[in-house]
Amino acid sequence: MLKTIKSIIMEFNYYKGTQQECINYDDFVTANEKYLKGDNWANPIEIEGSWYILKHEKYTSKMELLNELPPQNLELE
Protein backbone atom coordinates (compact mmCIF):
# COMPACT_ATOMS: atom_id res chain seq x y z
CA MET A 1 0.00 0.00 0.00
CA LEU A 2 1.38 3.42 -0.96
CA LYS A 3 0.64 6.52 1.07
CA THR A 4 1.74 10.09 0.41
CA ILE A 5 3.50 11.60 3.40
CA LYS A 6 3.98 15.38 3.59
CA SER A 7 6.64 17.04 5.69
CA ILE A 8 5.23 17.13 9.23
CA ILE A 9 7.29 20.05 10.50
CA MET A 10 6.96 22.91 8.06
CA GLU A 11 9.30 25.43 9.72
CA PHE A 12 12.44 23.62 8.57
CA ASN A 13 14.12 24.72 5.36
CA TYR A 14 16.07 22.46 3.05
CA TYR A 15 18.64 22.90 0.32
CA LYS A 16 18.30 21.07 -2.99
CA GLY A 17 21.51 20.27 -4.84
CA THR A 18 23.64 17.45 -6.13
CA GLN A 19 24.54 14.60 -3.84
CA GLN A 20 28.08 15.98 -3.57
CA GLU A 21 26.87 19.52 -2.78
CA CYS A 22 24.72 18.13 0.04
CA ILE A 23 27.64 16.07 1.38
CA ASN A 24 29.92 19.13 1.21
CA TYR A 25 27.34 21.26 3.08
CA ASP A 26 27.06 18.60 5.79
CA ASP A 27 30.87 18.42 6.07
CA PHE A 28 31.09 22.22 6.32
CA VAL A 29 28.43 22.54 9.03
CA THR A 30 29.77 19.53 10.93
CA ALA A 31 33.31 20.97 10.98
CA ASN A 32 32.21 24.48 11.95
CA GLU A 33 29.94 23.24 14.73
CA LYS A 34 32.73 20.93 15.97
CA TYR A 35 30.55 17.84 16.28
CA LEU A 36 32.15 14.87 18.00
CA LYS A 37 33.84 12.27 15.83
CA GLY A 38 31.20 10.08 14.22
CA ASP A 39 28.46 12.72 14.48
CA ASN A 40 27.35 14.98 11.67
CA TRP A 41 24.87 17.78 10.95
CA ALA A 42 22.38 16.03 8.66
CA ASN A 43 22.30 13.17 6.20
CA PRO A 44 21.47 14.04 2.59
CA ILE A 45 18.05 12.73 1.51
CA GLU A 46 17.33 11.39 -1.98
CA ILE A 47 13.77 11.80 -3.22
CA GLU A 48 12.96 10.66 -6.75
CA GLY A 49 16.50 11.28 -8.02
CA SER A 50 16.97 14.71 -6.39
CA TRP A 51 19.09 15.43 -3.31
CA TYR A 52 18.16 17.53 -0.26
CA ILE A 53 19.74 18.48 3.06
CA LEU A 54 18.41 20.26 6.12
CA LYS A 55 19.52 23.91 6.28
CA HIS A 56 21.40 24.99 9.38
CA GLU A 57 20.25 28.37 10.71
CA LYS A 58 23.82 29.77 10.78
CA TYR A 59 25.13 28.59 7.39
CA THR A 60 24.05 29.46 3.87
CA SER A 61 24.69 27.81 0.53
CA LYS A 62 24.30 28.62 -3.15
CA MET A 63 22.04 25.58 -3.49
CA GLU A 64 18.31 26.12 -4.07
CA LEU A 65 16.50 26.89 -0.79
CA LEU A 66 13.13 25.20 -0.20
CA ASN A 67 10.53 25.67 2.54
CA GLU A 68 9.76 21.96 2.69
CA LEU A 69 10.63 18.63 1.16
CA PRO A 70 8.54 17.39 -1.74
CA PRO A 71 5.89 14.76 -0.93
CA GLN A 72 7.25 11.25 -0.65
CA ASN A 73 5.58 7.99 -1.55
CA LEU A 74 6.44 5.49 1.16
CA GLU A 75 5.38 1.88 1.21
CA LEU A 76 3.74 1.10 4.54
CA GLU A 77 3.23 -2.42 5.77
Q: What are 20-70's pLDDT values in tens digits?
A: 999 999 999 999 999 988 899 999 999 999 999 999 999 999 999 999 999
The rounded distance, in Å, linking the Cα atoms of 46 and 53 is 9
Q: Is residue 3 part of a domain?
A: no
Residue 1 belongs to some domain of the structure: no
Residue 72 has pLDDT above 70, yes or no: yes
* pLDDT for the residue 37: 85
Contact status, residue 6 vs residue 71, Cβ threshold 8 Å: yes
Q: Is 42 among the domain residues?
A: yes
Domain that holds residue 15: 8-75
Minimal CA–CA distance to 17: which of 50, 54, 56? 50
- How many distinct structural domains can be found in the chain? 1
**Looking at residue 77, what is its pLDDT?**
66
Q: Is residue 26 part of a domain?
A: yes
What's the predicted TM-score (pTM) here?
0.79
Considering only CA atoms, which of 10, 1, 7 is closest in space to residue 47?
7
